[in-house]
Amino acid sequence: KDRVEALEYALFNELRAALAENVTRIQAASRSVAEVDTLCSLAETAVRNNYCKPELDMSGVLDIRDGRHPVVEQMQTETLFVPNDTVMDMENARTLIITGPNMAGKSTYMRQTALIVLMAQIGSFVPARSARIGLVDRVFTRIGASDDLAAGKSTFMVEMTEVADILAAATSKSLIILDEIGRGTSTYDGMAIARAVIEHCTDR
């Protein structure tokens, strides 16, 4: 057993030394393989799922026609995903307020928009019939309810901290997705917070 362990350790040291001598080449090869793998995966996904080539510009316009959620549409095997449009611009439609009953698809629609914008900006085709997307500097999201009781933070405090971080860092060129604000407090306080946040974002 001692001889086996000594031999294993000697071989390990030899391998480590050989790798150290060629680490630059190995890292360069790894980066190239990773880039090719990424591009091939994006291309194959685009062909298989009928994605379109987005038009990117600096206009501040977001015009997505027949957009689809890239994950949800693959998970829905029994029913078809219904495509939908998203149209926003910096002048007349900077803010959209999405309302509807529970499980109507509001969160899916908002996340879908953020995913399409993100996919376009990394160089991918997108799940839509057509898409014109003005470049954004960041994508911010505030989605879901959670608490951090161990740190003394309620659901409301976690939510407000995240919103405060978004408002402090977002610019006029940011895409902000806020999925329900003001939960965990009274109805009128929650409505007041939501309205103040929306007005602040719209006026930036």
Find out whether 175 and 166 touch, Cβ atoms under 8 Å.
no
Spatial separation of the C-alpha atoms in residues 112 and 98, rounded to whole Å: 13
Q: What is the mean pLDDT of residues 46-70?
A: 95
Spatial separation of the C-alpha atoms in residues 180 and 97, rounded to whole Å: 10
Question: What CA–CA distances, in Å, run from 4 to 7, 9, 13?
Answer: 5, 9, 14
Least confidently predicted of 80-89, 90-99, 110-119, 178-187: 178-187
Average model confidence (pLDDT) for the chain? Answer: 90
Q: What is the mean pLDDT of residues 102-113?
A: 90
Instruction: Tell which wins on pLDDT, 91 or 67.
Output: 67
Does the pTM exceed 0.85? no
What secondary structure does DSSP assign to 145-199, as a single string?
---BGGGTB-HHHHHHHHHHHHHHH--TT-EEEE---STTS-HHHHHHHHHHHHH
Find out whether 85 and 64 touch, Cβ atoms under 8 Å.
yes
